[in-house]
Amino acid sequence: MDNIDIQVLKAAVDWAAQGHRAVLGTIVRTWGSAPRPVGSNVVIRDDGLVMGSVSGGCIEDDLIARVRQKGVAADAPELLRYGVSAEEATRFGLPCGGTIELLLEPVAAHSRLPELLARLEAGRATRRIVARASGEVTLEDASGADELQLDEERLVAVFGPSWRMLLIGAGQLSQYLAGMAGSLGYVVTVCDPREEYADTWQAELGTLVRTMPDDTVLEFRPDRHTAIIALTHDPKLDDMALLEALRSQAFYVGAIGSYANQRKRRERLIEHFEMTTEELDRLHGPVGIKNGARTPPEIAVSILAELTAVRYGYWIPAPVKMDGAQPAAAAAGCVA
């Protein structure tokens, strides 16, 4: 599935090809509580059709009304701010007095969106530099460490596969996890040297490599935009990957397995590989939010929920099951 950025760009390119005018909006600053992060995009067509999101919907409604009433301007980009006052924050659905600043730019030939889209589809992370005085755009290769910048002269927005996920094991759970992760903007790589699993991998879900996991992690060069998750249940594969992953800059390292298996894994890594307690404390294991998930897609959801929390700096405490509570399926008589 396309990530949100690519969906927005495709819509803008398609609408231009159909003869429509459109305006591209980018969140460039936020203050307080904002529903969408900096860098989020939306595109609004001249008839009010919209793709993407920069809020819970109220700001999009105002932008649509603005385009319908005033049309799409042919001049330079425009900076808009929503939620400056408490009244505006309430009107536009911004919690706790949050404020969002947007740069709106008319989509034109000099926007270079088809070229940007081609670069992204080729897997090239790209800096898109917009001159605020003219709307002229320059495209450059970017790295995973690049971030959005705005000053009086230009906007530098980063597009592309800056977030990466390395999965150890090509089993059924990895297929669900890879499919969902793609929609969250991760470029997925799967490592599995076992023929009985690797030969059934669905190529559209991510790149498959057949090297040994520890070598793969080293070659992957994990940075702070990388998540590494071991899912084979085989210590010969998972432990070797974790040995390198926990000593890397990866922002999230997880491993499947019960609490008992996690304790045994810690003992092995300390005894045989002299890993420190501090290094092992980075491991999310059992991986995912403990929410009773049982099936592969449910477990994939729990993993991505925890990973998303870590990505945005949140810690989720272990849940507490309510006294006397029954699973909904059991209450409905669906579980034996």
Please state which of the ranges 9-18, 119-128, 283-292 shows the lowest mean pLDDT.
119-128
pLDDT category at 33 given cuts 50, 70, 90 is: low
The CA dihedral of 91, 92, 96, 101, to the nearest 10 degrees, is: -130
**pLDDT, tens only, 59-110:** 888 888 888 887 776 678 999 988 755 566 566 666 555 688 999 999 999 9
Q: How far apart are CA 96 and CA 174, in angstroms?
A: 38
- pLDDT for res 211: 94
Distance of CA 97 to the CA centre of its chain: 26
Whether residue 2 is predicted with pLDDT greater than 70 in this model: the reply is no
Q: What angle (nearest 5°) sits at the alpha carbon of residue 321, between those of residues 317 and 322? A: 125
What pTM was estimated for this model as a whole?
Answer: 0.69
Complete domains list, the chain, with CATH: 4-159 (no CATH), 163-311 (3.40.50.720)
Please state which of the ranges 1-10, 35-44, 224-233 shows the lowest mean pLDDT.
1-10
Give the strand pairing for 283-284 and 252-255.
parallel
**pLDDT, tens only, 164-222:** 999 999 999 999 999 999 888 898 999 999 988 878 888 889 999 999 999 999 999 99
- Residues 64-82 as b or e (16 or more Cβ within 10 Å = b): bebbeeeebeeeebeeeeb
